[in-house]
Structure 1
């Protein structure tokens, strides 16, 4: 790694820290790019190369992660949506369902005894939503592709 690459990672980390810290604020890519001292297009490319997802996708994943904790605590879906900085309940619910495979209201209604008995740092690690992980309730594309036609 060159010194230029390391400097770029330092700037990207600064923007990622901004997202982690200010997730509930209205953040857009140009604002994040300014914190990384990069143009918005260059920042988006570099962020995706370094972290495997776009800056906006990372922001929404962090928001969903924080909303999960609120929902486990019994906060309503609408209040959790607004508390994490989402302005559209529909977009929030769609992204939540996409990441977790269940709706926010179903997640809130489900028991979370195992998570509440864990230390918060462990619970955060095990409940963190990931974009590319298979969801629990989503059908497997591979399984669907292998189905044989009805005779």
Structure 2
């Protein structure tokens, strides 16, 4: 378990350590409570599967990160969740404002291996579960319980943490990997398999500046429009149109940060009907307007 804490110290050299489970005899997971300054975190290849929970966040700050080429930007407000599997190469992590309290939960390989022994085939926590701004109240409440034990140790804390680790890994596997769509024996029960999902996601990324339709994307997955829409929502947790909207906002973030394009031009490139529609969608997702975001950079 010591290597779990080594990972935290290596990844966050400038972060203050407020509390740690090191030396408490926890089984199944490790946890650290840190305070993070506004900074750029050094490039790192993740050596552990990590869940990050903003205990006390910021009013208008952002966390921008890029793992294996996938850029994500998320408001660092209280309650925000991030998921990073082992093996993802993060070459950009930027905190625009200091975050007072952040819980980092590290999951060792043996927990995932134990779940694989119960599944029809090995469970893969790979780059497909690299997620930011996770809206998952179940994971959030588990993090709250881990935080409570970290702050005030109880007699049964070690046993509880081992149980929570098993529940957490099972939930992540069931919600964010293709194991959520299989029964023992491999019967499909409703979602896109990972091969089709990746093909669809790659197509969306390559065509964000065109007028994408659900029918067009469904043809990439070789499914009817109705079947595709249901299968995509089951696999990803949101509708195709909602997912495309989020990806276009991410594209807009990149353009706001790296180009001199006007807001009107960015709205057009990202296929919003007007600058006003772009601003409304941007504020809804990130809590600030495109102009405010650009000025904060």
Q: Normalization by structure 2: what TM-score?
A: 0.35
- State the SS of the aligned residue for 1:66: helix
Whole-angstrom CA distance in 2 between matches of 1:63 and 1:80? 10
Aligned to 2:204: 19
Gaps of 5+ in 2: 1-181
Aligned to 2:296: 110
Aligned to 2:245: 60
Whole-angstrom CA distance in 1 between matches of 2:224 and 2:204? 17
Aligned to 1:114: none
Runs of 4+ in 1 over 6 A off after TM superposition: none
Please report how far the alpha carbon of residue 109 of structure 1 lies from its aligned counterpart in structure 2 after TM superposition. 1.3
How many residues align structurally?
111
Higher alpha-carbon Rg: 2
Q: 1:22-44 CA distances to partner (integer Å, 9 max, x unpaired)?
A: 11111011101111111111111
Please state which structure has a larger fraction of its residues in helix: 1
Please report how far the alpha carbon of residue 4 of structure 1 lies from its aligned counterpart in structure 2 after TM superposition. 5.0
Contact 1:24/1:86 (<8 A) preserved: no
Contact 2:200/2:220 (<8 A) preserved: yes
Which structure is richer in relative contact order (CA contacts within 8 A, separation 6 or more)?
A: 1
Aligned to 1:94: 280
Whole-angstrom CA distance in 2 between matches of 1:89 and 1:39? 33
Whole-angstrom CA distance in 2 between matches of 1:90 and 1:49? 31
Whole-angstrom CA distance in 2 between matches of 1:50 and 1:88? 31
Cα root mean square deviation, aligned:
2.1
Please state which structure has a larger fraction of its residues in strand: 2
Whole-angstrom CA distance in 1 between matches of 2:296 and 2:192? 42
Whole-angstrom CA distance in 1 between matches of 2:265 and 2:201? 25
- State the SS of the aligned residue for 1:18: helix
